Structure 1
């Protein structure tokens, strides 16, 4: 089995980090840091005085440069890496006269020191790449978790009995949906707008009921103006009137146009959809919760017969065959022809096995290579 790319990348990053760590430990991290301080300061001095302390340039700068180099390299620790190189460089620069070529030569003398202290940067880079590789592996594991969940669900749907009598669930749900749709349509058509919107507002107490809350300005308007006693279709009709015509029908044409005319889309879209049962229906665990929330709202605008139809839907969750029938309904609704072909050919099983193997390999790698 080929290793997942995320594992290969993590193993490579771990190897690179180990090599970089070994190169640093061969000298000593503290010793390298001390060496880097001297190296960096010498580099800065060379860059700062190049051109000023050469030839017939500024004699004061020349003396200052030699003094700072001498001070820096004086009394270096005996065990400092490249101590001899620093002292040789100091001897070389303590000439009676320096040229631009001397500065170039000094940089060449320092080059091996730069390579040595560069091991610290290599280790920092290797550590960063290791962390990125570990993060990428963790992210890939999460993706595989989702992929496995999807494939397992697809396989479960493929095992569903497509010939199961799903009408035992569908018929009661359709009876309720038809009844509640008709009841809400009548409610919206014939009930004062203020009462309709009051029911919608109170539905906010039930998160499973997806009515959009009435806009505050609209709610205030229907409560405070006589026009709020009119049903919603009448309000929408008024909203289409011209200003001069509207003055004959309402006490405050400006208020109506401000509160209603700008919310026509909201009012026109109010329907029973938020209290209808989806098809395929929710799980046996979820269905009673939906029915309980819907009943609290539906009872405010529908007759007892509609509530009774909802109780019949609630009772479906207690059937021993509910989940079997529901799985069949979900499979019929969601399985595409391509997915059915993949299931029949065994491709889904192969993909699932590969995903599980990859996830296991990544989990092993993450355990093998812990966070730094």
Structure 2
């Protein structure tokens, strides 16, 4: 987003103030005439226009004489029942005078409607106020949504600016090498463990990992867990179970005591078993913040120790102390910058475009926040 885009979006504060001013003006117009008096006009106007609508076809020309009489009586009754000081009462009287004839035409009804225009104008003050309230509420929602967008934009630009200040020549291999060494070792160990240990043993490690949220595997489906725990086939490695699942029932019966159970419990959950890899134990690159790495590595040690050799556990312990042995924050910023900064972003940073966008975003946010605070 360019500075011009930010400026074009910067009308929210002005729109909010304009909506507030229009609402205040609409409320003042209603107050000038009195809420109750205008509501009385609105009620009378609705009744009058309803009568005109309902009787126009029947009470005009040589139509229904009974309807004609009934219509005139009801209109007279409506007008006579109005308060003497009701705003626009004259409009209702004028309409009544137009309709007080021995014979009515459609043009008479049109003239009566025109005569009621002053009352319609007063009723519109209530409608205008309602519309102003809706516009004002919409403007507030837009302003708050825009404020959130600006907060996110500012955070992104500040992070981009921070990455731009990173030393791209810093020796990130001091972070990469121990992390990659651990990742490769734990992945190899898990692959070996999953391929050689019984499915029951693997599931016990998976279950134990639930106590360590930063190093937890996805738990197995309950039906699959129950099968592995209760059936002799659970002593077989996972690759063997998957191989059995591909056999026909007759062939499978030579290897397991309940071939149907293996098909319904294992074959239907093949995707889970195949995807049960070391991903929950892998440390990302670029690496997480120092505190996160310390806490996660401590949990990794606890989980990895349940299936991997001491050498792999030692590598996990190395990660736990890594932030204390190197200039972790600076090297991590370099890793992030190398990984995330695209060529166009580096160009924008060098040209000062990022700084301009950040200044524009901050200024707009300040104006918008002030406008929201002004309206309370």
- Measure the CA separation in 2 of the matches of 1:85 and 1:13: 32
Deviation at 1:124, TM superposition (A): 0.8
Specify which structure has the higher proportion of helix: 2
In structure 2, what is the equivalent of residue 267 of structure 1? 273
CA 1:186/1:320 → structure 2, altered by over 3 Å: closer, same or farther?
closer
TM-score normalized by structure 1? 0.93
User: CA contact under 8 A between 2:174 and 2:326: conserved in structure 1?
Assistant: no
User: CA contact under 8 A between 2:95 and 2:113: conserved in structure 1?
Assistant: no
- Measure the CA separation in 2 of the matches of 1:58 and 1:321: 98
* Equivalent residues in 2 for 1:154-233, closer than 5 Å: 154-233=160-239
From 70, 73, 81, the counterpart of 2:79 = 73
In structure 1, what is the equivalent of residue 343 of structure 2? 337
Does residue 9 in structure 1 map to residue 15 in structure 2? yes
In structure 1, what is the equivalent of residue 150 of structure 2? 144
In structure 2, what is the equivalent of residue 101 of structure 1? 107
Deviation at 1:320, TM superposition (A): 6.3
Residues 161-186 of structure 1 deviation map (CA, whole Å, 9 limit, x = unaligned): 11112222222222222221222122
- Measure the CA separation in 2 of the matches of 1:325 and 1:69: 87
In structure 1, what is the equivalent of residue 332 of structure 2? 326
Counterpart of 2:61 in 1: which secondary structure? coil
- Measure the CA separation in 1 of the matches of 2:235 and 2:197: 8
TM-score normalized by structure 2? 0.93
- Measure the CA separation in 2 of the matches of 1:314 and 1:109: 86
In structure 2, what is the equivalent of residue 254 of structure 1? 260
- Measure the CA separation in 1 of the matches of 2:67 and 2:194: 92
In structure 1, what is the equivalent of residue 322 of structure 2? 316
- Measure the CA separation in 2 of the matches of 1:268 and 1:83: 83
From 72, 94, 97, the counterpart of 1:88 = 94
Deviation at 1:41, TM superposition (A): 0.5
- Measure the CA separation in 1 of the matches of 2:168 and 2:76: 90
- Measure the CA separation in 2 of the matches of 1:257 and 1:141: 56
- Measure the CA separation in 1 of the matches of 2:298 and 2:77: 85
- Measure the CA separation in 1 of the matches of 2:110 and 2:184: 91
Counterpart of 1:318 in 2: which secondary structure? helix
Unmatched segments (≥5 aa) in structure 2: none
Between 1:197-206 and 1:91-100, the stretch displaced more is 91-100
Does residue 356 in structure 1 map to residue 370 in structure 2? no
Does residue 287 in structure 1 map to residue 279 in structure 2? no
Does residue 241 in structure 1 map to residue 247 in structure 2? yes
Residues 202-234 of structure 1 deviation map (CA, whole Å, 9 limit, x = unaligned): 322332225221121211111121111111111
In structure 2, what is the equivalent of residue 113 of structure 1? 119
Counterpart of 2:92 in 1: which secondary structure? helix
- Measure the CA separation in 2 of the matches of 1:265 and 1:53: 78
In structure 2, what is the equivalent of residue 307 of structure 1? 313
Unmatched segments (≥5 aa) in structure 1: none
Does residue 19 in structure 1 map to residue 25 in structure 2? yes
Residue correspondences, number: 370
Deviation at 1:30, TM superposition (A): 2.3
CA 1:339/1:210 → structure 2, altered by over 3 Å: closer, same or farther?
farther
Between 1:198-207 and 1:131-140, the stretch displaced more is 198-207
- Measure the CA separation in 1 of the matches of 2:311 and 2:181: 11
- Measure the CA separation in 1 of the matches of 2:182 and 2:326: 21
- Measure the CA separation in 1 of the matches of 2:91 and 2:357: 61
- Measure the CA separation in 2 of the matches of 1:103 and 1:342: 69
- Measure the CA separation in 2 of the matches of 1:51 and 1:263: 73
